[in-house]
Chain A
Amino acid sequence: MNDAFRALINQLARNLAKSELRQSETSSALWVETKPDLLPALCGTVIHAGAVFDSAFAYPSSRANIWTAAYIFRVPKSSKPLALVASGKKFLSVSSVIPCAVWDERKMREMSGTEFMGLEDVRPIVIHPESAKWVTNNRHSAHASHPAHAAHPAHAAHGLAISAKSGHELSKESGEYKFIGTGEAGEFEIPVGPVHAGIIEPGHFRFHVMGETINKMEVRLSYLHKGIEELAHGRKMDGVFPLIEQCSGDESVANCVAYAQAVESLAGITVPREAESQRLVLMELERIYSHLADLGGMAMDVGFYASSSRFAIMRENMMRLNARVSGSRFLRSRIAVGGLNGPLSEDALRELGAGVRKFMTAFMENEKMALTSSSFLDRVFATGILRHETALSLSVVGPVARASGIACDTRKSMAYGGYKASAVHEPVGEGGDVFMRFRIKCGEVKESVRLIEHELANNLDGPVLAHGLRLDRVPAGRTGLGWSEAPRGSCMFLVRSGHGGNLDTLRIRTPSYRNWIAIQEAVLGNITADFPLINKSFNLSYAGADL
């Protein structure tokens, strides 16, 4: 932890009573425990001191009816995050100091049933009022009888808010989901979705337009909400990887690594160096194929098919390379707690080395082709600008933040695993338009290839799984954080251990959840026809945000 921050926390600890602030440090975070009514003030203090809001999670504490809320911050020049934690029946909303926490608090309020006082927007976010009637039936038949749920005091006492109330009550209470325009005379609404025209995921966009120009846009998500976090409750800690891979298909590796690191930190497991190195290779392969989809999509959305088909050819070739290297086109079922499920074979790694070199030549040519085409540049310049200040205040992550001039790569700032030993070059640009996001993603692909080649050069031999793993001996009630830099930005996992190696709590914040709010800002003043392009340049995951 950064010295200035440690001094700040110590200062606060001196000024406040012991019951009001307690600090403890684990290998994954500096935990500061406080009272619910002090949360907004403390959040304001750490934000003022330069910390960046990362995520907020609510989970049942070990006492009945008491919930714990954890607000997690990334601290500059610090290798681990700061977590402000409070437990209680009611919380004070921090949305006045952290505007983007509104989404997190709306979700926490709905899922926990606890109140966040001062939260103005209390529209349900997870279960849509018009669909709520189907939830209860389902829970009565399958979920309510889940032994792990019943055994948990807090869950048993009031379950999730959505189960405690009948669907009908929920719809009556919240009514129809209302979209809020700017109220200007002559404003039209354009509803789009949930089923879109392209081969993409479902989500609803409500445009409030004045002629062609977008005055306001609201995103309504959660069409894909399945309940991954709740489903993981009570399962074996090393048995939920298939579930975590389902958070967001093209971030499977990054999410699994973040989860594995959270478990490793709370269980005190050291991952062998060779496993870290191969995890790095898998994560960078994932970044390459994921970015190729975005780059090709951007070219496609401006009608530049010559370039987009070439990106598609490269993507399919990369997917086939993935399959030969790891056995799965999506690099799945490789990550395990403590390392990897078996090493990547030497032949595979040799093939990978040759494959990425060939790929790089094609990639450079195609990048040049796009960036020297005036018809392409004309559409992407100054389109969908996300201003630096806006991006900062909304805690945006990933390539989107970097295109708006914010360095936030956790591979560098909170280096983990194999990245500790390799200096990652983080491309940062200015302007925050579609053009810059295209450039940043191109830069990241090239950096990924460099990292893979670097990693392949210092070929390490050795085991890829930690020895003597006994997850069933991990004491219950330990909390660990894990993060990784997914293609779309950093993700954050919070894991609490239960008895006998079971999971007590799993909470997930994917990069998409942070960035969806920013897209509402980036489209303002643009024409409706440019929305698909702007959306593609963000390329956020719907499934990752909905979980």
Chain B
Amino acid sequence: MREFDMLFRPQCDKISKDSADPTVREIAMLMDERSLSPLARSIAVRMVDCGSSNDVELEEGLTNSSQVDCERFGIHWVASPRHADVIICTGPVSVNMKLALEKTYHAMPRPNAVLAAGDGACTGGLFAGAHGVYKSGRISDVVPVDVLVPGNPPSPYEIVLGILKCGKIIAKKKI
């Protein structure tokens, strides 16, 4: 049994300001700031896939893995946009998803923030001019975007950092 435990011992990555990964360093700095604020420490997140190739979704799923463990940063994935502070949108926005994205956005309480994750969501990526893509494919063509996280796909830590930045933006927004 002891050996079994060793194989699966929670393998949380260390988050420190002298980590080799610049994303992790930035997360560590943001967490320092947040730990001093008495409120606004948790962020409820919902995702909307508007046209990506399930890669960003897989990386979002892995923010829940024991190594990254997004809950220690106060990030919690919720099932409905009505419970969410932040929606993560992946793209490019397809014409068939435009309406669903609008409806999801308007279902969120205020103040809120929108994060565009992945190259497709930020710029339209490879899909400029595709007939099934709405306008340029950018999320900002449909709903206002607060934070861009480019990448093909962005890593779990890059997504976590993006969500933390959204938390900062929400704190400044007026209700």
**Surface stretch bound by B, among A100-108, A244-252, A398-406:** A244-252
- Nearest neighbor of A137 in chain B, beta-carbon distance: B135
Kindly list chain A residues whose C-beta atoms are within 8 Å of the C-beta of B66. 309, 312-313, 316
For A242, the closest partner residue in chain B by CB is B126
- Nearest-CB residue, chain A, relative to B131: A227
Q: Does A223 contact B (CB under 8 A)?
A: yes
A313 to B13, CA, bound (A): 12
Q: Which of B38-95 contact A (CB under 8 A)?
A: 47-62, 64-68, 77, 79-81, 92, 94-95
| Cβ contact within 8 Å between A130 and B61 | no
Q: Residues of B contacting A316 with CB < 8 Å?
A: 62, 65-68, 156
Known A-B contacts A135-B132, A313-B67; the reply to A541 vs B54 at CB < 8 A is: yes
Cross-chain contact A543 with B58 (CB below 8 angstroms): no
Tell me if B152 is interfacial: C-beta within 8 Å of chain A: yes
Complex Cα distance A198/B80, Å?
9
A201 touches B65 (CB 8 A): no
Contact yes or no, B127 A543, CB < 8 A: no
Residues of chain A within 8 A (CB-CB) of B7 are 361-362, 365
**Are A329 and B155 interface neighbours, CB within 8 A?**
yes
Once bound together, how far apart are the Cα atoms of A541 and B130, in whole Å? 20
Q: Count of A-B contacts with CB under 8 A?
A: 164
Majority secondary structure, A binding face: helix
Asked if A143 and B131 make an inter-chain contact with CB atoms under 8 angstroms apart, the answer reads yes
Secondary structure of the B contact surface, majority rule: mixed
Which residues of chain A from 138 to 168 have a CB within 8 Å of any chain B CB? 138-139, 142-143, 146, 160, 162-163
Q: A319 near B153 (CB under 8 angstroms)?
A: no
- Interface residue count for B (Cβ, 8 Å)? 55
Is there a chain B Cβ closer than 8 Å to A200's Cβ?
Answer: yes
Q: How many residues of A contact B (CB 8 A)?
A: 63
Task: Give every chain A residue within 8 A of B59 (Cβ-Cβ).
Answer: 329
The reply to whether the CB of B16 lies closer than 8 angstroms to some CB of chain A is: no
**A483 to B128 alpha-carbon distance, docked (Å):** 28
In the bound assembly, the distance between CA atoms of A102 and B120 in angstroms comes to 31
Proximity string of chain A (211-224) to chain B, C-beta cutoff 8 Å, 1 when within and 0 when not: 00000000000111
In contact, A543 and B52 (Cβ under 8 angstroms): yes
Contacts of A146 in B (CB 8 A): 129
Q: Does A230 contact B (CB under 8 A)?
A: yes
Q: From known contacts A195-B48, A197-B80, A224-B97, infer whether A249 and B58 are also in contact, taking CB-CB under 8 Å.
A: yes
Q: How far is the CB of A287 from chain B (nearest CB, A)?
A: 14
**Selected contact of B55 from candidates A127, A230, A249, CB within 8 Å:** A249
Of listed A226, A361, A541, A544, residue having the most chain B CB within 10 A = A226
Q: Is B143 an interface residue (CB 8 A)?
A: no
Residues of A within 8 A of B60 (CB): 199
Interface residues of A in 173-213 (CB under 8 A from B): 194-195, 197-202
Given contacts A195-B100, A226-B94, A361-B7, contact A139 B62 (CB under 8 A): no
Q: Measured between C-beta atoms, what is the minimum distance from B96 to chain A in Å?
A: 5
Interface contact A313-B65, CB-CB below 8 Å: yes
Q: Which residue from B57, B62, B130, B135 sits with its C-beta under 8 Å from A230?
A: B130
Interface residues of B (CB under 8 A from A): 4, 7-8, 11, 47-62, 64-68, 77, 79-81, 92, 94-100, 104, 120, 125-135, 137, 152-153, 155-156
Q: 21 A-B Cβ contacts within 8 A?
A: A126-B132, A130-B99, A138-B135, A142-B129, A194-B100, A195-B48, A201-B54, A224-B94, A224-B97, A225-B94, A226-B51, A226-B127, A226-B130, A246-B120, A246-B127, A249-B52, A312-B61, A312-B62, A312-B66, A365-B8, A544-B53
Sorted nearest first, the 4 A-B pairs with minimum C-beta distance are A249-B55, A197-B79, A142-B129, A227-B132
